[in-house]
């Protein structure tokens, strides 16, 4: 079966029907299905100097060759969403800076610090999204949910960097609409199945490598065109570079 022509959802449905693990990206799921096919195949009888057997062995070797997708390819949705969140965070940071002269006033200092934390959280989530990590959307969702809740809670406050309700001058419905729209935009990259489900390297140590061992990858440099490829850590065999189609062993 030509697994490369199937979508990730179709591949995972095959895994589910066979009762095998469905987590991971497309390359890992393809490898898992191929290993399952090999485990169920009847053992071949050893026949010396038989051209048909040699052809079958060659075909099996070719089946083990997987095409490694370049994980650094441009993802238009992730790029647009990441850029939007970055601009939104920068605009909020600029507004927060206007409150610095009032830092010493009661309650204002803590609000300013929290506002900056929200801005930096949005910027980091935007960077992760543009690097094609799904965790970026989840972080943005959490930060925007907290930010939106504080904005509605402090909507009637006259002077607070966490809400621009201006003492109720701006309708609360508009504030809720803006917060909800930002949350939906931040979740848009999750629709793309090519987004990486593993944690980025800087977060693996914080949450423990065992939590992401199943989906972690090794970086491999193509020996021909020097493209940066990512190969599942559990995979050994031949790979094919998508840029120059040259093959190599890992």
pLDDT tens digits, residue range 121-159? 999 999 999 998 999 999 999 999 999 998 888 877 777
- How would you classify the pairing of strands 228-232 and 217-221? antiparallel
DSSP state of 224: T
Give the per-residue pLDDT at 47: 46
Q: Write out the H or E segment, with its range, that includes residue 155.
A: none
Choice among 32-41, 142-151, 174-183 with the minimum mean pLDDT: 32-41
Residue 215 in contact with residue 25, Cβ under 8 Å?
yes
CB contact burial 203-228 (16+ within 10 A = b; e otherwise): ebeeeeeeebeebbbeebebeeeebe
Residue 163 in contact with residue 171, Cβ under 8 Å?
no
Residue 35 in contact with residue 28, Cβ under 8 Å?
no
pTM strictly above 0.85: no
Sort 81 into a burial class: Cβ within 10 Å, 0-12 / 13-18 / 19+.
buried
Choice among 118-122, 131-135, 168-172, 184-188 with the minimum mean pLDDT: 168-172
> What angle is formed at CA 37 by the lines to CA 32 and CA 43, rounded to 5 degrees?
135
Rounded to whole angstroms, the Cα distance separating 127 from 121 reads 10
User: Span 229-244, mean pLDDT?
Assistant: 76
Q: Look at the block and give the residue holding tokens 């990206």.
A: 25
DSSP state of 74: -
- How would you classify the pairing of strands 228-232 and 247-249? unpaired
Domain boundaries of the chain, sorted by first residue: 76-191
């Amino acid at each position: 079966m030509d697994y490369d022509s199937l979508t990730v959802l179709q591949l995972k449905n095959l895994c589910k029907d066979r009762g095998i693990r469905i987590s991971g990206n497309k390359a890992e799921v393809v490898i898992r299905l191929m290993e399952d096919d090999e485990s169920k195949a009847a053992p071949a009888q050893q026949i010396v100097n038989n051209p048909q057997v040699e052809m079958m062995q060659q075909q099996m070797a070719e089946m083990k060759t997987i095409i490694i997708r370049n994980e650094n390819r441009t993802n238009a949705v992730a790029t647009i969403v990441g850029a939007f969140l970055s601009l939104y965070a920068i605009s909020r940071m600029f507004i927060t800076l206007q409150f610095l002269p009032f830092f010493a006033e009661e309650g204002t200092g803590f609000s300013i610090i929290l506002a900056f934390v929200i801005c930096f959280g949005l910027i980091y989530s935007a960077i992760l999204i543009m690097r094609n990590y799904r965790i970026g959307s989840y972080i943005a969702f959490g930060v925007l949910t907290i930010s939106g809740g504080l904005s509605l809670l402090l909507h009637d406050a006259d002077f607070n960097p966490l809400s621009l309700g201006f003492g109720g001058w701006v309708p609360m419905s508009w504030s809720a609409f803006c917060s909800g729209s930002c949350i939906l935009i931040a979740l848009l990259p999750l629709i793309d199945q090519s987004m990486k489900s593993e944690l980025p390297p800087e977060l693996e140590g914080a949450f423990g490598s065992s939590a992401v061992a199943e989906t972690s990858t090794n970086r491999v440099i193509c020996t021909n065109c020097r493209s940066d490829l990512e190969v599942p850590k559990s995979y050994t065999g031949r790979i094919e570079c998508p840029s120059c189609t040259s093959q190599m062993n890992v």
